[in-house]
Amino acid sequence: MFSGQFVWLSLFLLFAALSAPNAFTQTQVHITPTTNVEDRAGSISKPGGYRANVMRVNSDIVLVPVTVVDAANRSVMKLEKNDFRLLENGEEQNLRYFSTEDSPISVGILLDLSFSMKDKMDTVRQALHQFFENSNPDDDYFVIGFSDQPILLSDATHSTASIEDKVTFAVPSGNTALLDAIYMGLTRLQRAHYKRRALVIISDGGDNHSRYAKNEIRRIVEESDVEIYALGIFSKVFKTYEEWEGEHLLTEITEVTGGHTVTISDVNKLSEAAAAISHELRNQYILGYSPSDHARAAQLHKIKVRLTQTVPGPALHVYNKQVYFSRHN
């Protein structure tokens, strides 16, 4: 009797389990390919999770870093406040702040470790050394290497020697996830030690492996308060469309932030170019202004910095952040 009751009880439980909605699908594990970029310190979310800072020291003053170079790409630091004009959305602004101080900066180095960089790494290491040699001793740095995906090689440190040691063991391979590396670099700079922040990219090609699109990254860099510079190692005659697109991509991304791209056709000149960018970061003008009530109401703010006609000598080139977005609306 007991045996019969046990059989019926077992059949009842089996029938109930089969009849329950999604009885078995509730225990299945579905793995969805992630769209996140990951490093060894954790994951980075897609746009929407990024929160950029506007270039404001308070609610009134907007600070704009400005670099001025001559035809030989040498920094020009003899200008005065009256030599500058600043326009926001076409309206000229009254400069309330002017400085040329060499303040410390947090710098992220984005190092291309794709296969095409294999024969250039010795020169890249020398260029990094020259960059550090010409920097402010109080600066701090982190390094992200990127090939198929970006990976943190060295977290924020003042020790340039430790960074150079780690880069020594980097082995190039794979593709080029440049845009993903830019996103990771911008995200890490959000918790940087200093208010002044920059990314320096060293690469010999365009992007061919990122999950982020160019338009996504452009919008993010526009909203950030980070200057981006690039050392682009390109042949005089582009061998591939990717290489041609790479120069345009770097130029577009860097110049909107107030930085710029130095194109290098002779890899032996890479160290000289790296030293020049480091020198530029130590020789900038900081212009500050208070937007008019009309300008404050706008969300998109386009900035243009010009030199007055009183500046003597050959033509000079001005680099400054071109746009920022207000978040008060």
Q: Rounded to the nearest 10 degrees, what angle do helices 121-133 and 270-281 cross at?
A: 30
Q: How buried is residue 109: exposed, middle or buried, by Cβ count under 10 Å (0-12/13-18/19+)?
A: buried
- pLDDT tens digits for 141-172? 999 999 999 999 999 999 999 999 999 999 99
Quote the pLDDT of residue 1.
46
**Cα pseudo-dihedral 202, 208, 213, 219, rounded to 10:** 20
pLDDT at position 191 is 94
For the chain, residues with pLDDT lower than 50 are: 1-45, 47-48, 51-54, 57-58, 329
- Residue 101's pLDDT is what? 79
Is-above-0.85 flag for pTM?
no
pLDDT score for 292: 75
User: Which residue carries 């995906």 as its tokens?
Assistant: 149
Quick: pLDDT tens for 17-29: 434 433 323 222 2
Distance CA 71, CA 313 (A): 11
Predicted confidence at residue 298, as pLDDT, reads 62
What pLDDT is stored for residue 30 in this prediction?
Answer: 26
